[in-house]
Structure 1
Amino acid sequence: MSEDAEVIKSPHAMKSSASTYAAREAYHAGSWYAADAGTLQAQLEGWLAEARSAPVTGVTVDAPDDAGNDDDRSSLNCNGSAPSEQVVLVNTRVKALIAPHAGYAYSGPTAAYAYRFVSAEAYDQVWVLGPSHHVYLQNCAVSGASALRTPLGDLPVDVAVTQRLTQQHPELFRWMSQGMDEHEHSIEMHLPYVAHAFRGHLQRVRVVPVMVGALSAAMEERVGRALAEYVQQPRTLFVVSSDFCHWGQRFGYTRGGDDVEGRERQRHGTPLHEYIQQLDMKGMRAIESGVPEAYRQYQQATGNTICGRHPIAVLLHALATAAAAASDPCTIRFVRYAQSSRCEDVRDSSVSYAAAVVYPPDAPASRI
């Protein structure tokens, strides 16, 4: 499976009603990730063990070899310099994660750098916000399932919350059909990590899956405001599903290749994969600012193909609304960055992956 084979949206919209279905099947198991429970659990535990063994000191860059394999990778600070702030998180209850959703062979290790902070004892509810790759939506859609199947066990859906969203905010939230739900991978790719984190507690945790459409800036703010009350709940975790730059002709995005910026890049002797990394880092810094407008301006200026850009914007608005009510903002820090391969010229392509954590002001964190 390629790093993100389903990146292009289809133009048609699928209708859905308020009818529900018993379970969302693990549609991508066996292709995007292992269907065998033992194999999958071993992979997740291996990636998490590797992530936990690394100190949390701001963003590190996972540099693949030219073939895009995992065998010969090294961790570096961004562009060889210190990150904006080096933070070590110790036993903190993070409020939210940003993590990728490509096939696990590509993005699984990066996602572990966010999920290493998730402790089953800390949460009763997990929201998963993912972009829509197949269906064009101008609002959001919630799963009509009562359970989400994974090879590691079924996750119960918080049906009371999904019903409440569609009833209180019908202009913002609609229902997914079962086909619409199962064909989308952006939410599903996080469910095995959630199931692994809550093993032994699967009947206690409740999951709220939300597909976020191609929202306008105004709709991003409205949805974020609607979700702010849930972000404020102390035993709720938000997971935002997003890959970062999809670079190459196959994705219709070659900024910095043969254009004006590319000629400037070449004049400075900057390799193309480093240019892509710098492009992503600017976006990550805008997200870390916690200011939705800063992130919107970055997107307008670069058009970076961050496929979870709308879920990220929704999270930023939710956090900003919650911070205004509490007068004490959360802190957002990216802790890992990787690329599927090194782009050298316009014939190449790559997808970037990043992991971030959002922790509250009272988190037991030490800064170094």
Structure 2
Amino acid sequence: MAARRASHAGSWYSDEAKHLGKQLDNWLSAADLCHGPARAIIAPHAGYQYCGACSGFAYRQISPVVVRRVFILGPSHHVRLSGCALSTFTKYRTPLYDLRIDAQVYRELEATGHFEWMNMSVDEDEHSIEMHLPFIARVMENFKDSFTIVPVLVGSLTPDKEGLYGRIFSRYLADPQNLFIISSDFCHWGHRFRYTYYDRSWGEIYQSIRNLDKMGMDIIETLNPSGFTDYLKKYGNTICGRHPIGVLLQTVHSLQKSGNNGHKVSLKFLKYAQSSQCCSLSDSSVSYAAAALTFE
């Protein structure tokens, strides 16, 4: 049985279990449980020194006693995909313990004919999924032998394809034992990201970035897939997990349209941060946001 090594441990986060566990506990304990139990969360995937505290707000909303399967939808940074891809590994390693991939769900997804397979080097290079694994391991630690993960690499999807994957995932989101983790950083601003949108009426550059992100977050909270697509077309905001977010919105839309969900669905953003405050055109920053989706 092949296991994927923790490729970014020691560089993007600590590879020492005790130290890593303490960091994660500190971030989780600093956040309030205010919008849970989460059926889905949106959380960032940068180095923990930048976004660990922000991620803690999303992961704090999870009720581990309920969860038996964790879907992780992360954007592809290193390979062009027009659809979604699955891992060829059977386990993902973390410094805390190994996370088992759900073979049964993978068979079900493969049977749809709409998923391909990552090669091992792409899988190990990709950080958008890996950065969530230690948080998952820590939150689920008391149930580590009774849950599985379903990692999915999400490509550059058209709105129609986001709708297709939303229909595929809707039956899984309907199950309260399933949790969806949507991996996304928000605005990547600066010349090195080839994105320098600046509305001076909003104040300093970092204030303009914050307002631009807030506009997108407000639209995501309405759970309107076409509204989010229109926002991205208008502003071009460099939200790297825009397609995983789009899939989540379409999944909720499909579930509501089918009539299988009699619950009120609510998505709220709980925390926002920037890696630095940009004040000149030579500066750069990445934004981070944490959100939770609940069924009431």
Identify whether the pair has TM-score above 0.5, normalized to the shorter chain.
yes
Q: What is the aligned-residue identity percentage? A: 45
CA distance in 2, matches of 1:234, 1:339: 32
Task: For 1:26-41, list aligned pairs within 5 A.
Answer: 26-41=6-21
Report what 1:113 is aligned to. Answer: 57
C-alpha distance in structure 1 between counterparts of 2:265 and 2:42, whole Å: 14
Q: Tell me by how many angstroms 1:200 deviates.
A: 3.0
Cα distance between partner residues in 2 of 1:50 and 1:329: 28
Measure how far apart 1:50 and its partner are: 1.1
Match of residue 142 from structure 1: 86
Which residue of 2 is the match for residue 235 of structure 1? 177
Partner SS state of residue 163, structure 1: helix
What are the residue-to-residue correspondences of 1:212-361 with 2, within 5 Å? Answer: 212-256=154-198, 261=199, 265=200, 268=201, 270-324=203-257, 325=259, 326-361=261-296
Equivalent-residue separation in structure 2 for 1:226 and 1:160 (angstroms): 15
Partner deviation per Cα, 1:131-150 (whole Å, 9 max, x = no partner): 00000000000111111100
Please tell me the residue identity of whatever aligns with 2:247: V
Q: Is the 8 A contact 2:38 2:63 kept in 1?
A: no
Structure 1 counterpart of 2:136: 194
Q: Deviations over 1:187-243 (max 9, x none)?
A: 000000000011132121110000000011111110111100000011110000000
Cα deviation for residue 163 of structure 1 reads: 1.9
- Residue 11 (structure 1) aligns with: none
Report the Cα distance in structure 2 between the residues aligned to 1:175 and 1:94, rounded to whole angstroms: 29
User: How far did residue 122 of structure 1 move?
Assistant: 1.2
Is 1:159 aligned to 2:77, yes or no? no
Runs of 4+ in 1 over 3 A off after TM superposition: none
- Out of 25, 30, 41, the residue aligned to residue 50 of structure 1 is 30
The gaps in structure 1 that reach 5 residues or longer are 1-20, 57-87, 362-368
Q: CA deviation at 1:93?
A: 2.1
The unaligned stretches of length 5 or more in structure 2 are: none
Q: Distance in 2 between matches of 1:295 and 1:152?
A: 36
| One-letter amino acid of the counterpart of residue 298, structure 1 | Y
Larger helix fraction of residues: 2
In structure 2, C-alpha distance between the alignment counterparts of 1:231 and 1:329, rounded to whole Å: 14
Kept after mapping to 2: 8 A contact 1:220/1:317:
yes
RMSD: 1.2
Conserved 8 A contact 2:37-2:61: yes
Q: Tell me the alpha carbon deviations over residues 230-258 of structure 1, each in whole angstroms, 9 at most, x when there is no partner.
A: 000111100000000000000000011xx
Verify the 8 A CA contact 1:28 1:185 in the aligned structure 2: yes
Q: Tell me: CA distance 1:328–1:122, structure 2 relative to 1, closer, same or farther (3 Å).
A: closer
Q: How many residues align structurally? A: 294
Counterparts of 1:47-196 in structure 2, within 5 Å, are 47-52=27-32, 88-89=34-35, 92-167=36-111, 169-170=112-113, 172-196=114-138
C-alpha distance in 1, partners of 2:280/2:30?
32
Q: Secondary structure at the match of 1:230?
A: helix
Alignment deviations for residues 344-368 of structure 1 (CA, whole Å, 9 cap, x no partner):
011000000000000002xxxxxxx
Partner of 1:203, secondary structure, is coil
> Does the aligned pair in 1 maintain the 2:202–2:211 contact within 8 Å?
no
C-alpha distance in 2 between matches for 1:349 and 1:124: 40
**What secondary structure sits across from 1:121 in the alignment?**
coil
Decide whether the 8 Å contact of 1:156 with 1:202 is kept in 2. Answer: no
Q: Is the 8 A contact 1:320 1:329 kept in 2?
A: no
1:205 matched to 2:147: yes
Distance apart, 1:327 and its partner CA: 4.9
Please, what TM-score do these two structures have when normalized by structure 2? 0.97
Q: Is the 8 A contact 1:323 1:329 kept in 2?
A: no
**Do the aligned partners of 2:202 and 2:208 also contact (CA within 8 Å) in 1?**
no
Aligned to 1:69: none
Amino acid at match of 1:225: R
